[in-house]
Structure 1
């Protein structure tokens, strides 16, 4: 598809360390899962191109670290984001509670109230779950999030759906929008260092 596209959207992934943000990105972009990943230091960046309804949609996916000591670095990359995937671990209640802080950071540093989707990752785990699906649903509704779904980077459950449906909704929302045209980020300008839907596990 080259560098030709109809839409270009910047999506950021936020959440605590070790909730599986990098694994979700790798599963979506490569279709593979690695049991062990190096901890993201700062920000990782990748691009994925999709064909939706006859349009070419390019996603800039920014995987940010969950480590507090890198906050001053990562929050600078929130600017001009079109949407955020807020990720928690279904075996870690604190990671869900901390999503409030992550959403506040996104709103503060992105400069706008962008759509936020809640993903409860690691739903493949048969033991150790501390956050139920209903807990995730309630959290998403309480905080007026765009959608909620449980995902598994390990077996691929709902991962592609999350990204595709987000891309579809953004394409509809920003169709012929001046805000989209002014806020889009061209790939050649990146720094060198670098519709509501509910999944089958949602409501």
Structure 2
């Protein structure tokens, strides 16, 4: 759906849904967003500085939703800025690359950032990126589900190269975000502390 055809009256009727992507640098956040928005894969991207955001209109439960996707930088020098972009998110997508075990170990940090920056905690999905690079040494689905399944509203195994599950990921994020927007005035979500003391640390597994 192209937002260029909307007039101001149409825009006033839209529900705006903010979806933020979080995760270590190099895990493929920008590639996921680019594939969903433009349906193409580009091998080379400049590292995101601060955050970028793009919009796409989709139908969710017969509602036209203006999905604003914020792609945040994962580099350490930009971490202090990330909470500025995650505030008021209706849904978050934490991204870990299948060939980067450190990106899995960093997930508690990213989830806690959402907890700390949002007054009402949105649903958080886990996107496993770069599944086209899977080798026998990479984490298995069983390993991922056992160690991380409890902490996310869903897990999607994605590839920006093939497009595998990219559309499903953002559609589900948009649905969860819309439901969150509809209900957040009716309840206060309890924060979950995923610090080192309470978070189930993944077992060591050799990765690619």
Common fold by TM > 0.5: yes
Counterpart check, 1:62 vs 2:73: no
Q: Which moved more, 1:53-62 or 1:31-40?
A: 53-62
Measure the CA separation in 2 of the matches of 1:63 and 1:85. Answer: 10
Measure the CA separation in 2 of the matches of 1:163 and 1:133. Answer: 20
Partner of 1:179: 185
SS at match of 1:141: helix
Measure the CA separation in 1 of the matches of 2:137 and 2:68. Answer: 31
SS at match of 2:127: strand
> Deviations along 1:74-109, whole A, 9 cap, x unmatched?
221111111110000001111011011100011101
Unaligned segments of structure 1, at least 5 residues: 181-203
Contact 2:131 2:158 in 1 (8 A): yes
Contact 1:78 1:106 in 2 (8 A): yes
> Deviations along 1:25-77, whole A, 9 cap, x unmatched?
00000000001101101101111110233210111110000111111122211
Distance 1:129 1:153, change over 3 A: farther
Measure the CA separation in 2 of the matches of 1:32 and 1:4. Answer: 30
- What is the CA-CA distance between 1:169 and the residue it aligns to? 3.0
Q: Which moved more, 1:53-62 or 1:30-39?
A: 53-62
- What is the CA-CA distance between 1:128 and the residue it aligns to? 6.9
- What is the CA-CA distance between 1:173 and the residue it aligns to? 4.3
Partner of 1:158: 165
- What is the CA-CA distance between 1:142 and the residue it aligns to? 3.2
Counterpart check, 1:11 vs 2:19: yes
- What is the CA-CA distance between 1:171 and the residue it aligns to? 2.7
Counterpart check, 1:133 vs 2:141: yes
Alignment equivalent of 2:175, drawn from 168, 174, 179: 168
Structure 2-normalised TM-score?
0.79
For the pair shown, which has the larger CA radius of gyration, 1 or 2? Answer: 2
Structure 1-normalised TM-score?
0.81
Measure the CA separation in 2 of the matches of 1:170 and 1:75. Answer: 18
Measure the CA separation in 2 of the matches of 1:161 and 1:35. Answer: 22
- What is the CA-CA distance between 1:150 and the residue it aligns to? 0.7
Partner of 2:206: none
Partner of 1:104: 112
Unaligned segments of structure 2, at least 5 residues: 187-208
